[in-house]
Chain A
Amino acid sequence: MATLLAWSFGPSEMYKATGLITYGGNMGKYASGFLAPNFHDWKYYLEEMLVTVQTALWGTFLAAIFGMPISLLCSNNLAPIWVVQPVRRLMDAARSINELVWAVFFVVAVGLGPFAGVMAIFVNTLGVFGKLYSEAVEASDPRPVEGIRATGASKIHEILYGIIPQVMPLWISYTLYRFEANVRGATILGIVGAGGIGQVLFENVRGFYYAETAALMLMMIATVAIVDIISQQLRRIMV
């Protein structure tokens, strides 16, 4: 452990840590700029914030719709191994590339704006749901499925009646959790031009408008908190 830390010390520029104290005054001045948030443009901020939430909503929704059938294809107890493995690797790829990176690609593909953000969140979240949903399917009780099978029902019926009712509460729960995370994620997509509040934030940070930046950050915190509370309530009702 000590060796690893020593090895990483130089490349991660840890020697600059003393600067935290040396330049403490500068940082204080910088921070004090944030102390008086400026909400004069709040209507515009609110609009952009709303677009951010809407982007996350659509991205998560699409990922859930496509994630459900795909997760069945990557469940070992339902699909043959030669289907499970390739689909899983594909989901791994979708998941391991950050949504910000996907956003860069989609801005090129579909142009600047929130739709690129929707697609970025969709692809990344699809990878997450493929894994989470299929884990729920694999952990489901096989006995009800056998009960359905014994009536002469088809494979599709076995899944719809035997498995889906069992995994639905978990699926809903995962989807709501992920929606919360995606609202947070969507707030930075604007940095690469994929719409929403990130764009405004980036412009203000770049322009040294500390008061406006502070206002934007407060709005983000409030929005994420509200989304968290709403999704918590939904989870309680639906699960």
Chain B
Amino acid sequence: MSNIQIASLSKTFANGTKALNGLDLNIRSGEMVALIGASGSGKSTLVRHIAGLIGSDVNAGTSINVDGRIVQAKGRIAADIRNIRRNIGVVFQQFNLVGRLSVLTNVLTGKLGQMPLLAGALGNFSLADQQVAMQALERVGIAATARQRASTLSGGQQQRAAIARALVQGAKVLIADEPIASLDPASARRVMETLVGINREDGITIIVSLHQVEYARRFCPRTIAMQAGRIVFDGPSVALTNERLTEIYGSASEELVLPDAADLNSLKAVAA
């Protein structure tokens, strides 16, 4: 069954930039897909469209469906988008946690979408919700930090807290927008392993946009490569060799490969 369906999606920004150009895409339930592309290729724009955070250009055939529900069609975001967003967890490059709140409270905000307005406003999280949040923190390996302010955590820990928030949400689809772009290699690997874990164990569909193709090959079975708002490669990640990248992107492909051979070796060592 197709979990995410995108049909002829285009987005032109107010300044005239065409970020997405007639994009079609189908992702099956339970897949883990990498989204590769240089800066400005449209990865983030695509991710934000799937999450219903921005609306597309008004084209007759345009639609985005997630889990059988319309997120947006013909440039109009669904009226019940709040209900749909509950099923779509989003992980951001800059984590987007609330720094002054505790890690546990940040994770609990994942439940807000399912709570009555007043209960949510008063922070009346049930004991069951708190247990779910603690379990999610244990899953991502940072349960010990639950009472700390989110701002005191390292980048990698904050990103895992953000993943825990999406887990608590009970999302069936997780969209990660450059989740490891601001992290050091060791933290990046842990975050990617966490994502792979919830993909395999919970069957959550994951789309993760990445800057470096090595991570895609290492962690994601399928890769979609983008350039100038179009899909230029869609297939098994192993087929996207460095040679193939150069074919597609020319000299711009350098940006997509880890510059340091040592980094590459460390990744392979983990794989082995």
Binding site for B on A (CB under 8 A): 143-144, 146-154, 156-157, 160-162, 165-166, 168-169
Contacts and interface: CB of A to CB of B under 8 A. Distances in A.
B121 A157 contact: yes
A148 B109 CA distance: 7
Interface stretch (B15-23, B88-96, B205-213): B88-96
Interface in B112-149: 112-114, 117, 120-121
A152 B121 contact: no
Residue of B53, B83, B92, B109 ringed by the most chain A CB atoms within 10 A = B109
B112 A147 contact: no
Given A146-B53, A147-B162, A152 B98 contact: no
B169 A152 contact: yes
Interface magnitude class on chain B = 20 to 34
Contact of A153 (B96, B100, B112): B112
Contacts of A160: 120-121
Contacts of B51: 150
Contacts, number: 85
B264 interface: no
Interface of B: 51, 53, 82-86, 88-90, 92, 94-101, 105, 109-114, 117, 120-121, 162, 165-166, 169
A160 B96 CA distance: 15
B34 to A, nearest CB: 20
B234 to A, nearest CB: 26
B109 A149 contact: no
B85 A151 contact: yes
Main secondary structure of the interface of B (DSSP, over half): helix
A162 B101 CA distance: 9
B165 to A, nearest CB: 7
A147 B84 CA distance: 15
A148 B121 contact: no
A75 B92 CA distance: 25
9 contacts: A143-B92, A150-B85, A150-B96, A151-B89, A151-B169, A152-B86, A153-B109, A154-B82, A156-B121
Given A151-B166, A165-B100, 20 more contacts: A143-B92, A143-B96, A144-B96, A146-B53, A147-B165, A148-B109, A148-B112, A149-B53, A149-B85, A150-B90, A151-B169, A152-B83, A152-B112, A153-B82, A153-B113, A154-B82, A157-B120, A161-B112, A166-B99, A168-B100
A151 B120 CA distance: 12
Contacts of B121: 156-157, 160
Contacts of A143: 92, 94, 96
Nearest to B93: A143
Contacts of A149: 53, 85
Contacts of A165: 98-101
A148 B98 contact: yes
Contacts of B111: 151
